[in-house]
């Protein structure tokens, strides 16, 4: 029986995936095998020694002490892409509200609610104030072609936009999923010079902080519309406000309001709604639960933030799972101990990521506790467990 402690309300669509006869799932389990969490702060609790894995139903892992977990061999999972469709839909809406002044128009229409019979005439007289361009035939520049960027680019193609993408680190999976209609930009500046709409879908880091700033706005078309649903810090706020006020840019839609941005009429502030759909919550919960079950039952690691991706089809009845520091001769030492105990290895995989490595070793014989203990004593080994094929 595996025991899962839930630290937040998790979508039932995810929880229902745990088979009742093999999993105990509750918020009050003292010595769980795994923790399922959304936003609860795990920095402030003692993570029990029994915990093998923590899965966050969401993308960021700031609420989890990842370094401490790595040192203890606790695998931390997140659910990248689980909210991609939710963000994509908001990006498409952002392009539309940055074109015609839909928000201003709706607010104005609400303001004439008490004008009774005058309303139809007023609407016809004032509507031109809110007009704006169509999307079809315009050029969209997508910066970052990951889970969200690829979806935005593909749907923008379907809406009749010409789409250019920029991502020097695009993954093979993303490249496979990207429409062939999307033109590749070799430089960010090349994309910025051509685009009528620019949408950012990249992580915030030391290198991307303030990526769009006064210097970049010089390359951009007058009236270009910038959409930032990724992270506020990617755009220099003072610079974009200046560019909008001096009419060097058309509009800025952001999911990250600040007092300064709210004070600027040409900024459309959305209250961080990117991932706020019930479907995104469901998707993240389902992904988190599937990843946890796979890890507990087979030792497979997928979408971990601290250990390498590692999967092996299990053909033999027994399996050894070992996390270790990424130093030489670890596999050699483990296999020597197994050979010394007359245990036949049928399959083995070892992957490393930064300072850590992970091994899946399939064997024909069950590995006795005494042998597991000897492996645990090897310097550099962090965690060892054995499982039997279900
Ligand atoms: N508004 C919200 O609620 C919300 C929700 C989810 C994600 N996000 C944000 O959206 C971002 C993108 O999410 P995702 O799921 O698509 O991430 P992802 O990891 O799948 O994709 C990010 C892509 O950006 C690329 N990239 C990194 N640095 C780059 C650079 N300097 N120039 C161009 N491309 C670069 C990477 O190669 C990768 O392909 C996240 O980092 C997150 O900050 C916001």
Phi/psi at 228 (5° precision)? -130, 95
**Atom from ligand 1 closest to the CA of residue 275:** 3
- For ligand 1, the distance from its centroid to the CA atom of residue 146, given in whole angstroms, is 6
pLDDT, position 65:
97
Q: How confident is the model at residue 250 (pLDDT cuts 50, 70, 90)?
A: very high
Q: Indicate if the pLDDT at residue 59 is higher than 90.
A: no
- What DSSP string describes 339-390? HHTTPPEEEEEEEEETTEEEEEEEESSPPPHHHHHHHHTSTTEEEEEEEE--
pLDDT, position 102:
97
Sheet containing strand 318-325, strands side by side? 345-353, 356-363, 318-325, 381-388
Q: Indicate if the pLDDT at residue 29 is higher than 90.
A: yes
- Rounded Cα–Cα distance for residues 366 and 370 (Å): 12
Predicted TM-score (pTM) of the model is 0.85
For ligand 1, mutation pick of 61, 62, 148 (most atoms within 8 Å of CB): 148
Mean pLDDT of all residues belonging to the chain: 96
**Mean pLDDT across the stretch 332-341?**
97
- Rounded Cα–Cα distance for residues 84 and 90 (Å): 10
Which residues are catalytic, by number? 231, 260, 272
Beta-bridge mates of residue 143: 166, 200
pLDDT, position 95:
98
- Residue range 128-152, pLDDT digits in tens: 999 999 999 999 999 999 999 999 9
- For ligand 1, the distance from its centroid to the CA atom of residue 192, given in whole angstroms, is 18
Q: How confident is the model at residue 390 (pLDDT cuts 50, 70, 90)?
A: confident
Helix axes 147-158, 84-97, angle to 10 degrees: 50
Q: Indicate if the pLDDT at residue 389 is higher than 90.
A: no
The DSSP H or E segment spanning 124 is helix 119-126
The DSSP H or E segment spanning 227 is strand 225-228
- Indicate which residue's Cα is closest to atom 8 of ligand 1: 230
For ligand 1, mutation pick of 62, 83, 203, 273 (most atoms within 8 Å of CB): 203
- Indicate which residue's Cα is closest to atom 2 of ligand 1: 274
Q: Indicate if the pLDDT at residue 364 is higher than 90.
A: yes
Q: pLDDT over 70 for what percent of the chain?
A: 100
**Mean pLDDT across the stretch 289-316?**
97
- Residue range 158-206, pLDDT digits in tens: 999 999 999 999 999 999 999 999 999 999 999 999 999 999 999 999 9
- For ligand 1, the distance from its centroid to the CA atom of residue 58, given in whole angstroms, is 14
For ligand 1, mutation pick of 79, 141, 144 (most atoms within 8 Å of CB): 144
Cβ atoms of residues 59 and 80 within 8 Å: yes
pLDDT, position 167:
98
- For ligand 1, the distance from its centroid to the CA atom of residue 76, given in whole angstroms, is 19
pLDDT, position 60:
83
Nearest to 196 by CA among 322, 87, 335, 99: 99
Q: How far is CA 59 from CA 13, 71, 151, 230, in A?
A: 18, 21, 17, 12
Nearest to 188 by CA among 160, 174, 162, 208: 208
| Higher-scoring residue by pLDDT: 8, 267 | 267
Q: How confident is the model at residue 8 (pLDDT cuts 50, 70, 90)?
A: confident
**Atom from ligand 1 closest to the CA of residue 90:** 1
- For ligand 1, the distance from its centroid to the CA atom of residue 177, given in whole angstroms, is 16
- Residue range 96-113, pLDDT digits in tens: 999 999 999 999 999 999
**Mean pLDDT across the stretch 357-378?**
97
- For ligand 1, the distance from its centroid to the CA atom of residue 373, given in whole angstroms, is 42
Which residues surround ligand 1 with Cβ inside 6 Å? 59, 80-81, 83-84, 87, 143-149, 166-167, 169-171, 174, 201-204, 208, 229-231, 255, 272, 274-275
- Indicate which residue's Cα is closest to atom 25 of ligand 1: 144
Nearest to 163 by CA among 146, 149, 179, 182: 182
Residues in Cβ contact with 351 at an 8 Å cutoff, skipping those fewer than 6 apart: 308, 309, 310, 357, 358
């Amino acid at each position: 029986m595996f025991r899962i402690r839930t630290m937040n309300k998790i979508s039932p669509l995810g929880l229902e995936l745990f088979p009742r006869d093999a999993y105990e799932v509750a918020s009050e389990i003292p010595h769980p095998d795994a923790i399922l969490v959304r936003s609860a702060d795990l920095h402030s609790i003692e993570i029990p020694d029994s915990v093998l894995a923590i899965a966050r139903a969401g993308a960021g892992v700031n609420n989890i002490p990842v370094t401490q977990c790595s040192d203890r061999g606790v695998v931390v999972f997140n659910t990248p892409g689980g909210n991609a469709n939710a963000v994509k839909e908001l990006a498409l809406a952002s392009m539309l509200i940055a074109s015609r002044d839909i928000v201003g128009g709706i607010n104005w229409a609400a303001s004439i609610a008490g004008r009774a019979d005058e309303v139809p005439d007023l609407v016809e007289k004032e509507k031109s104030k809110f007009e704006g361009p169509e999307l079809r035939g315009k050029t969209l520049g997508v910066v970052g072609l990951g889970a969200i960027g690829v979806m935005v680019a593909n749907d923008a193609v379907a809406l009749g936009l010409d789409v250019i993408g920029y991502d020097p680190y695009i993954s093979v999976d993303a490249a496979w999923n990207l429409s062939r209609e999307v033109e590749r930009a070799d430089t960010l500046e090349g994309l910025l010079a051509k685009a009528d709409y620019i949408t950012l879908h990249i992580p915030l880091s030391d290198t991307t902080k303030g990526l769009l700033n006064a210097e970049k706005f010089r390359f951009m078309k007058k009236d270009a519309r910038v959409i930032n649903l990724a992270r506020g810090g990617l755009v220099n706020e003072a610079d974009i406000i200046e560019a909008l006020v001096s009419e060097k840019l058309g509009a800025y839609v952001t999911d990250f309001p600040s007092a300064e941005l709210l004070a600027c009429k040409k900024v459309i502030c959305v209250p961080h709604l990117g991932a706020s759909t019930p479907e995104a919550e469901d998707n993240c919960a389902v992904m988190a639960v599937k990843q946890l079950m796979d890890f507990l039952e087979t030792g497979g690691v997928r979408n971990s933030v601290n250990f390498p991706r590692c999967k092996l089809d299990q053909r033999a009845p027994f399996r050894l799972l070992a996390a270790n520091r990424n130093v030489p001769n670890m596999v050699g030492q483990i296999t020597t101990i197994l050979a010394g105990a007359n245990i036949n290895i049928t399959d083995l995989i070892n992957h490393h990521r930064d300072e850590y490595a992970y091994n899946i070793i399939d064997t024909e014989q069950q590995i006795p506790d005494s042998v597991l203990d000897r492996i645990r004593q090897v310097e550099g080994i962090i965690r060892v467990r054995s499982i039997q094929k279900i």
